[in-house]
Amino acid sequence: MKDNVRSSVIVNLIRTLCLTILSFISFPYVCSALGSSFMGTYTWLNTFVYYFLIIAKSGIPNVAIRECSKVQNDKQLLSRKVQEFFIIQAVLTILSFGLMCAFVFSVPELLEFKNLIFILSINFVIGVFSFEWVFIALEKHYFISFRSISTTALTSILIISLIKYPTFNDMTLYCVLTISSTILTVIINVIAVRKYITFKYVGPYDFKEHFKPITVVFVISLMLTIYNSTDSFILGFLDKSKTAVANYSVGIKSIEIIITLITSLDSVFIPRATKYYKLENKVFFNNLTKYGFNICLFIAIPAIATMSILSTQISTIISGGGEGYSDAPLILIILCSMSLTFSLSDMIYEQVLIPMKKEKYYLYTLAMGAILNIGGSISLGLIFKDHPAIGVAIATILTDAILLINMIFLTKEYVHSAIFNKNTLKIIIAGIAVAICSYFETLLFASLSAVLQIVLVVIIGAFVYLSLLLLMKEDLVCSFKKKKTAANE
């Protein structure tokens, strides 16, 4: 079981790392080319559109993955499930687009950018045809990885080749190019999915059984979006120039990459956790939970240590060295622990609550978090009126910590021992050592460029981290050592 899961984990991590590298190539270039004002405007508009993307999806992918994974070996039952979820999502997408139009034509500040908003909305309008959740349910990780890397690479090349100046036209072109990856994904997925399902009618459909879980997960998704994206949206109103939004997006970019790296593993763990819980195999279910949290801590702890020390260098690279991003390093330091707190909360929801059909616990937690985050972001954004992005960052990290504590308390029967154990202590000790080493390395390499500083600090830090974990016999590192030894024998 573990070897099979490990291979899927490795494939997903490779995919996410490749996408991360591509992002690090294109995003800094765009920040520099468009400038903080145009980049902030794009981020603000994209945040607005994202709300309606969530309404269009309505949490369907998570429920669909769970339900489709149960019938993955029966083509007819699988086809019926896929058709049911597709019809539901298509109807909700139409309603979501109509609701978005109502907002755009009602709010003058949004109406000014209606053309850009409609371009960005193509993401969720055609996204209904992507069927990505089918491939996740079927655990087609190699296909997903190859396709994602290929489409993102092509998009990145186009962005770097065509975006040149801080003008409205170039910002419009950037909006067009960002959705091209979704268009390519839809075309490829529609062609490939026919191998596993049929689009012919295989009814009768039973929509009623899906309404309750979809409703719960939809509200969760909406609350999660409000919780995650409202900070940027609020900043857009607090700062008319939108430079605060750009600073915030640069500051949080590397954190989002780490979070994406960790949460990408959900596509591996959700189908497996669902199977084990359905079979009432508590030993495998608990081991899978512990394994997932082990990976999360293994990645997040050294990332926090390194990002907090290298915040200035990282922000300089992500912003492309452009002007107007002076608050980004401090924002990165404030928010870097989100790579652990947010990731753990998400894993508890995806790997524990969804398989158990207890999503309502996450819903209540997010509702509380959304209220705290909105209130805190507005209050601290106004208090730090000269640097509103810093105030919003403080409100966000405080809320995130409160939510994680609540999530652990609600699921302590399943997650307490998986998080609070000797192995976690070993990772924390090694992480502290990485932070100390990184600090002195930045002093030693101060005369070098930001890129070289980051490369050297990360390489040396990785060596120190893995060496200490090996000496302390940390579970994850030792598991790979045992596998290698067994293979040699």
- Higher per-residue pLDDT: 279 or 342: 342
Residue 249: per-residue pLDDT? 83
How much is the average pLDDT of 430-449? 94
State the pLDDT confidence band at 322, using cuts at 50, 70 and 90.
low
Measure the CA angle with vertex 293, ends 289 and 299; round to 5°: 150
- Checking if the pLDDT of 3 tops 70, the result is no
Mean pLDDT of 344-354: 86
In whole angstroms, what is the distance from residue 187 CA to residue 127 CA? 10
pLDDT at position 486 is 45
Q: What is the pLDDT of residue 489?
A: 46
Q: What is the mean pLDDT of residues 311-338?
A: 86
Query: What is the average pLDDT across 248-266?
Result: 82
Give the rounded percent of residues in the chain with a pLDDT score beyond 90: 29
Q: For residue 220, what pLDDT is reported?
A: 75
Which range (346-350, 404-408, 436-440) has the least confidence?
Answer: 346-350
The pLDDT value given to residue 479: 77
CA-CA distance, 107 to 114, in Å (whole number)? 10
Q: How confident is the model at residue 488 (pLDDT cuts 50, 70, 90)?
A: very low
| The pLDDT value given to residue 272 | 74
Average pLDDT, whole number, for the chain? 85
Alpha helices of 264-387 — where are they, by DSSP H? 266-278, 282-309, 311-318, 328-335, 338-348, 360-383
Kindly report the number of other CB atoms within 10 A of residue 11's CB atom: 16
pLDDT value at position 267? Answer: 67
The pLDDT of residue 487 is 44
CA dihedral 17, 23, 25, 29 (to 10 degrees): -170
Q: Is the pLDDT of residue 483 over 60?
A: no
- 448-479 residue pLDDT tens: 988 899 999 999 999 999 999 999 999 888 87
Residue range 115-126, pLDDT digits in tens: 999 999 988 888
Q: How far apart are CA 374 and CA 274, in angstroms?
A: 34
